[in-house]
A = this chain, B = another copy of it.
Amino acid sequence: MPTSSRFVVAVHALVALAVSGDKPLRSEDLAHSASTSPVVIRGLLSRLSAAGLTRSQLGAGGGALLARPAEEIGLLEVYRAVEDTRLFTLHRTPPPPDCAVGGNIVGGLQPALTRAREAFEAELDHTTIAEIADEVARLGNFTVPLEW
């Protein structure tokens, strides 16, 4: 399955906003930085602002800003805000309920799948946009906020 690149691009955009500080960034700027199109970025920002992670300033000199300090934005929130797909996909058509295995496999398997998903999410929740931004600044040898 092609999983979507939305999560990584959304983190990219949020890190760019964190690095930018108080200066709003246009969707065109973010699109250039992430090698995608402004419309895709605006679609992501639409979801992120609905989740309370960003806000937008209209008009000339406008653009996107973080709605909260980068230290308070965890990767799990970002993941949930932009990713539609589930970690596991069940049978395309449900198995027959009158089958000994088919009728009980979903119920029997679900707890294990849930545990794996929760372990995944808990680990994502441990990291914040600020940590990623700091690491990017360290790798790129620059300081936050960065003047473009």
A95 to B32, CA, bound (A): 8
Question: What total of chain A residues lie within 8 Å of the partner, measured CB to CB?
Answer: 65
| A89 and B2 contact, Cβ closer than 8 Å, known pairs A15-B105, A100-B140, A140-B100 | yes
Copies in the complex: 2
Q: Are A90 and B135 in contact (CB under 8 A)?
A: no
Q: Are B90 and A108 in contact (CB under 8 A)?
A: no
| A85 and B35 contact, Cβ closer than 8 Å, known pairs A100-B140, A101-B12, A112-B124 | no
Is the CB of A39 closer than 8 A to any CB of chain B? Answer: no
Q: Chain B nearest CB: distance from A63 CB in Å? A: 15
Binding site for B on A (CB under 8 A): 1-5, 7-9, 11-12, 15-16, 19, 32-36, 75, 84-96, 99-105, 107-109, 111-112, 115-120, 122-124, 126-127, 131-132, 135-136, 138-140, 142, 146, 148
Instruction: For the complex of A and B, list the 8 residue pairs with the smallest distance between their C-beta atoms, beginning with the closest.
Output: A108-B135, A1-B3, A119-B123, A108-B136, A104-B139, A120-B120, A1-B85, A116-B123
